């Protein structure tokens, strides 16, 4: 997204994605998925140490706002990052953290 051509629709979409990501558990989910892994709700809830229903709720928000995509394989649904560039947000956050 170039600053010289700020499309209001793109700005709204970007803001919604950032709002969806702005939660510690959701940032953690993105961190687990940034390696290109495709993980299930069960795998993520075990990694996060929270209830499976809470994990599903967070995944739903991230998917709804265009951060994640999912694919169904049998009984399992696998989640992954929709856009490869989302990894850069995590890198930026780790470099910009306060001391």
Query: 81: part of which helix (H) or strand (E)?
Result: strand 76-81
The 10s digit of each residue's pLDDT in 34-48 is 887 899 999 999 999
What does pTM read for this prediction?
0.85
* Confidence check: pLDDT of 2 > 90: no
Q: What's the chain's average pLDDT?
A: 89
Q: What is the pLDDT of residue 98?
A: 62
CATH for 11-94?
A: 1.10.10.10
When mean pLDDT is compared across 10-14, 20-24, 95-99, the lowest value belongs to 95-99
The 10s digit of each residue's pLDDT in 68-89 is 999 999 999 999 999 888 888 8
The 10s digit of each residue's pLDDT in 64-73 is 999 999 999 9
Percent of the chain whose predicted confidence (pLDDT) is above 90: 67
| Buried-exposed string 13-33: b where 16+ CB fall within 10 A, e elsewhere | eeeebeebbeeeebebbbeeb
Q: Is 98 exposed, middle or buried (0-12, 13-18, 19+ CB in 10 A)?
A: exposed
């Amino acid at each position: 997204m170039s600053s010289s051509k700020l499309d209001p629709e793109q700005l709204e979409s970007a803001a919604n994605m950032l709002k969806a990501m702005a939660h510690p558990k959701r940032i953690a989910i993105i961190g687990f998925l940034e390696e290109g892994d495709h993980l299930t709700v069960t795998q993520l809830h075990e990694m996060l140490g929270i209830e499976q229903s809470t994990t599903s709720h967070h995944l739903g928000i991230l998917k709804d706002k265009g951060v994640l995509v999912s694919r169904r394989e049998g009984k399992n649904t696998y989640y992954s990052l929709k856009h490869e560039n989302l990894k850069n947000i995590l890198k930026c956050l780790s470099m910009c953290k306060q001391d």
